[in-house]
Every structure is written in structure tokens, then in C-alpha cells.
Amino acid sequence: MQLVVLEGDDKLKKVSAEVIGAALGLGEPVAALGVGKNARSLAEAASSLGVSQALTVEGPEVADYAPRAWVRAIEAAVAKLGANRVWFGATAQGKELAARLAGRLRAGLAQDVISVAKDGDGILYRRPVYAGKAVAELRLTSAVGIVTLRPNAYAAAAATASRTPLEALTVAFQPSDRDGRAVGFVAGDGGRVELTEAEIIVSGGRGLKGPENFHLVEELARELGAAVGASRAVVDAGWRPHAEQVGQTGKTVSPGLYIACGISGAVQHMAGMSSSKLIVAINKDPEAPIFQVADYGVVGDALEILPAMTEAVRQLRG
């Protein structure tokens, strides 16, 4: 049995449906687990995606995000199911929980996986390394394997007419499980597309020359229905919030279309976006490293090109 740990707030994140799709592709039964105050709604959403079981863990111990308590809940689900593989989306939360669970179970961990396939009696996992310049192949030999799947690496599991009944799981929490917990949340811009969920991302870098010019990126993103991203240099300079940072120390993304505006292409940035399906780069420097991974390159000033692109998109949309 495989276990997929679900993620989402008001609704199931797309990456969780993609993880279920990848797990089902191995031809083994899949169970889904919702944890926290939204556990029931997440499990209900997953129950029609072809899973064999849909579990929930609710209660005050997991009402907000308390990593130790959440891992305790996941560990209980693994024991109940006798799961041999536990899946997460390769999000900030998914990566943290996967690493903690691997430590708790002394299990092998494959992070940020982009491909999974049967290989004899085992499973072969592939993940990008060296800023996407190479791909590592991994096999997990522990009794339980822990995997995080990069967003947009697989198609989401298709909904079916039937639903799997939900089952509430009782967990014996320990007092120490609550020694670290979230004490508050700052709401972001609800009108924006979340980076790791986006099919299109428009990112800006230092080539925009100042935060006052970032509206050009936002305008193009608005016309495309895209998320807004930023390079580390821009975030470090205080132009944009860290939530928008794409790269090794930010968010790893794999959209269908990634537009890099005024981004030179530092190794850490390309590590976070090089697996995008189509990359368009705009930069004044024809030797900028970003052009090495770009499918289409525009040599020019982003401040001049972005308004023209936005207007062209506007006209195409009518």
C-alpha cells in the first residue's frame, strides 16, 4: 500500500492530485491522508481520484500546522496501512514533513522527484541535480520509502464517478508533539496564483532596475493568468516578498511556461525553474546564462519588451 499525504487550504492542491496520479501509475493501491482542520475536505476531494482508502486525522493537536504532531499522525497512518511508500508534494510543507518522517522511520528519502518507474523488483526515482544540468537516479532500499514529487511533473489523477468512504484515524499524540507550532498567519494577496500551483509564471530580476518597474511583470502576469516570481537578488534587495522567490533557496517550480525578465540566470535560480516545460528569457546581455536553458530568447531591455508583450497578449485575447 502507498500513502499520499494531502495538502491544501480551502481546496486540494493540484500537486496532491498529481502525486496521486504518479502513485497510481505504479499499479499499486493508494491511500490518501488528510491532516488538520481541512482534513475532511481534502480527503473528500481525493476520494474520487482512484484511491483505495481515504483517511483523516483531526483534533486540536493538528488544528494548526504543528510539524511534530503532523508527522505523528502520518506515522500512525503508515503503521495502520503497512505502507511501503509515502508520497508528498515537493512544496515547502511537503519537504519538511517528508524529511521529518524519514528521520522518524529511519527511511530512505527521495526529494524533488520528476520521474518514477518500475525497475525490476524496485522503483527507480529520477531527480535533477546541479541546477538541472544532470539527473540523478535513486533506488530506496529501506522498508518504507519517502518521496516528494515536483509540481507539474505528472498529470493529475482523473476524477471518477465513485467515491471512497472516509475513515477517521485515532492517533496517540504526545505532549512533546506540540513544542513547535504555528502561532499566527499573515494573509497574502488572495487574487494571485500561487507559484507552485501555476501553469504560467512571469519572473523579474535586477534587469528591471528597481521595484517601481515590477508592475510591468505584474501586468503581463495578469493578462496571462500567471503567477509572479522573482530572483533571489530582487528578494534580497527588498523589492519583492520571499514567497515569490524562485530558486534553490526559494521555491522549485515546473510550469508549462516560465518567462524570465531581466534575470541573468544564476545557478541557484536555474535550480528552481530549469525543469519548466517552456522557458522564455528576456535579457540585454546575449551571454547571460539564462539563455543556455531558454527555449526562446529575446535580447533586449525588459523595460521596453514587457509592455509590448503585454499589449500583444491583450490584442490576442481580444
Pairing of strands 296-299, 279-283: parallel
* 185 assigned to some structural domain: no
Q: Where a domain ends, among 153, 178, 203?
A: 178
Cα separation, 205 vs 281, whole angstroms:
11
Residues 174 and 202 in one domain: no
- Whole-number percent of the chain with pLDDT over 70: 96
Closest CA to 237 of 262, 215, 211: 211
Q: Would you say residue 78 has pLDDT above 90?
A: yes
190 lies in some domain: no
Residue 7 shares a structural domain with residue 156: yes
Domain stop point among 146, 178, 210? 178
Domain co-membership, 172 together with 245: no
**Do residues 167 and 246 share a domain?**
no
Residue 148 belongs to a domain? yes
Task: For residue 206, give the CATH number of its domain.
Answer: 3.40.50.1220
Q: Record the pTM.
A: 0.79
pLDDT tens figures, 2-45 = 999 999 987 899 999 999 999 999 999 999 999 999 999 999 99
Flag whether 183 is in a domain.
no
Sign of CA dihedral 10, 94, 235, 195: negative
**CA–CA gap between residue 21 and residue 13 (Å, rounded):** 13
| Shared-domain flag, residues 249 and 313 | yes
> Does residue 100 lie in a domain region?
yes
Do both 34 and 77 map to the same domain? yes
The three three-digit cell numbers of residue 89, written as one number: 508534494
Q: Are residues 61 and 95 located together in one domain of the fold?
A: yes
Same domain, 224 and 112: no
Which residues, including other chains, have CB under 8 Å from residue 247's CB and lie 6 or more apart?
A: 231, 232, 266, 268, 269, 270, 271, 272, 273
**Backbone Cα Rg of the chain:** 21
Residues 138 and 90 in one domain: yes
CATH number of 90's domain:
3.40.50.620
Domain end residue (candidates: 178, 208, 232): 178
Range of the domain at 278: 195-317
Q: Look at residue 280 and tell me if it is in a domain.
A: yes
Q: What is the pLDDT of residues 102-150, one digit of tens each?
A: 999 999 999 999 999 998 888 999 998 876 778 899 999 999 999 999 8
Q: Give tens-digit pLDDT for 247-295.
A: 877 888 889 999 999 999 998 898 888 889 999 999 999 999 999 999 9
Three cell numbers, residue 133: 544540468
Does residue 217 sit within a domain?
A: yes
What distances in angstroms separate CA 127 from CA 121, 161, 208, 284, one per listed residue? 20, 34, 32, 32
- Looking at the structure of the chain, the number of domains it has is 2
Q: In the predicted model, what is the mean pLDDT of residues 170-194?
A: 73
Residue 273 sits in the same domain as residue 212: yes
